[in-house]
């Protein structure tokens, strides 16, 4: 084994220090050092290159079991990661190899090689394994196509449209020959999704007082598919304009994640009834068996120039909590990453 003499003896980790109340604070996380053991047979030692910060993590630190066990106070924060192998005790990986995994908010880790995905830096930048070719990309691909079943000519609305997932959903919808309208929070984001990504229209919910009026103007034939990343008042306005037999893919509810008490809203079941809507929530892991098919299609579309992506990269491992909080506040355009 090479480079054992350079093996660091500790890893830096962010633990959950307190359950956030409302919007998380940096003090809800605690940076600690932990001993870094030598890899055993079948394991590798990796140095973190990129960390992913994603909306779903807010749900994991609430202390409520949702679709996965919660992160408890004192636990290492979970999260998708990309790193470089420093030392390997598995024949499938060599020092220098890039891998994607899920070793959480730490700058080094010892992990089983079997749980890592070897990346080819010649095919795509390794960071894309956390974005367009990773969980957010597959969330957009399967969550939109398999739940909304868009047809050519239909009108698709995407909330959180400039985010890691929403920006891809809109482009996939354009590939399906749909009319695509985005909702996002910032004029720069609106410009990005319309001018750079080819959305047919968009509005900035932060400077728009009447969402329904804006949507009516942008969607003269009503709305057939809604890909929802945000929930709350934005979704209420979209529901008001859904056509009979419209499909709603519920991917995220970021507007609700940091509320200190659950918010009331207009009841939606009566609308679901009279317009025969289909509303379905999903977690991307349900599509795991078909993951490679999705990655291959997204990579092909990228190669053809039909799918573009943007990364908002924060430099410095120690800024991971800040990047996470900024992402929850919608400060990113495209995929928010931390470069360790």
Contact region with a copy of itself (CB under 8 A), list: 2-10, 59-67, 85-93, 327-335: 59-67
Structure tokens at 262: 């659950």
Q: Please, which of residues 62-81 interact with a copy of itself by CB under 8 A?
A: 66-67
Question: Looking at beta carbons only, is 4 or 66 nearer to a copy of itself?
Answer: 66
> Could you tell me which residues are beta bridge partners of residue 163?
334
Nearest distance from C-beta of residue 234 to a copy of itself, angstroms: 11
With binding defined as CB under 8 A, does residue 95 bind a copy of itself?
no
Q: Please, which of residues 216-255 interact with a copy of itself by CB under 8 A?
A: 228, 231-232, 235, 244, 250-253
With binding defined as CB under 8 A, does residue 1 bind a copy of itself?
no
With binding defined as CB under 8 A, does residue 42 bind a copy of itself?
no
With binding defined as CB under 8 A, does residue 277 bind a copy of itself?
yes
Long-range contacts from 219-223, C-beta under 8 angstroms, 24+ separation: 219/155, 219/157, 219/179, 219/181, 221/155, 221/179, 222/155, 222/246, 223/155, 223/156, 223/157, 223/181
Q: Please, which of residues 106-135 interact with a copy of itself by CB under 8 A?
A: none
d(CA 333, CA 310) in angstroms, rounded, equals: 7
CB 145 within 8 A of CB 50: no
Question: Looking at beta carbons only, is 23 or 31 nearer to a copy of itself?
Answer: 23
d(CA 77, CA 226) in angstroms, rounded, equals: 31
The position carrying tokens 């979209």 is 238
With binding defined as CB under 8 A, does residue 261 bind a copy of itself?
no
With binding defined as CB under 8 A, does residue 268 bind a copy of itself?
yes
Question: Looking at beta carbons only, is 198 or 232 nearer to a copy of itself?
Answer: 232
With binding defined as CB under 8 A, does residue 152 bind a copy of itself?
no
Helix (H/G/I), strand (E/B), else coil: 141: helix
d(CA 35, CA 38) in angstroms, rounded, equals: 10
Q: Which residues are near a copy of itself by CB under 8 A?
A: 59, 66-67, 228, 231-232, 235, 244, 250-253, 256, 262-283, 286
């Amino acid at each position: 084994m090479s480079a054992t003499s350079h093996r660091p003896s500790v890893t830096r980790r962010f633990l959950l220090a307190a359950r956030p109340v409302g919007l998380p604070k940096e003090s809800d996380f605690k940076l600690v050092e932990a001993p870094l053991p030598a890899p055993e047979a079948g394991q590798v030692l990796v140095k973190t290159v990129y960390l992913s910060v994603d909306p779903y993590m807010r749900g994991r630190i609430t202390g409520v079991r949702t679709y996965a066990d919660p992160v408890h106070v004192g636990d290492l924060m979970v999260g998708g990661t990309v790193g470089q192998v420093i030392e390997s005790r598995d024949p499938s990986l060599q020092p220098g190899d890039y891998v994607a995994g899920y070793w959480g908010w730490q700058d080094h880790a010892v992990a089983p090689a079997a749980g890592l995905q070897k990346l080819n830096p010649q095919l795509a930048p390794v960071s894309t394994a956390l974005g367009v070719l990773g969980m957010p990309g597959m969330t957009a691909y399967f969550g939109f196509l398999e739940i909304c079943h868009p047809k050519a000519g239909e009108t698709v609305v995407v909330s959180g449209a400039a985010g890691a997932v929403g920006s891809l959903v809109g482009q996939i919808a354009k590939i399906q020959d749909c009319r695509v309208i985005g909702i996002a929070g910032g004029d720069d984001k609106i410009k990005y999704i319309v001018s750079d990504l080819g959305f047919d229209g968009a509005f900035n919910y932060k400077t728009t007082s009447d969402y329904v009026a804006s949507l009516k103007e942008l969607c003269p034939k009503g709305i057939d598919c809604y890909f929802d990343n945000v929930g709350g008042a934005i979704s209420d306005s979209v529901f008001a304009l859904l056509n009979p037999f419209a499909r709603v893919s519920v991917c995220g509810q970021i507007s609700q994640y940091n509320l200190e008490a659950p918010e009331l809203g207009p009841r939606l079941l009566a609308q679901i009834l009279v317009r025969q809507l289909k509303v379905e929530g999903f977690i991307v892991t349900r599509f795991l068996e078909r993951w490679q098919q999705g990655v291959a299609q997204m990579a092909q579309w990228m190669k053809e120039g039909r799918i573009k992506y943007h990364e908002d990269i924060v430099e410095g491992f120690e800024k991971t909590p800040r990047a996470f909080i900024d992402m929850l506040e919608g400060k990113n355009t495209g995929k928010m990453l931390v470069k360790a």
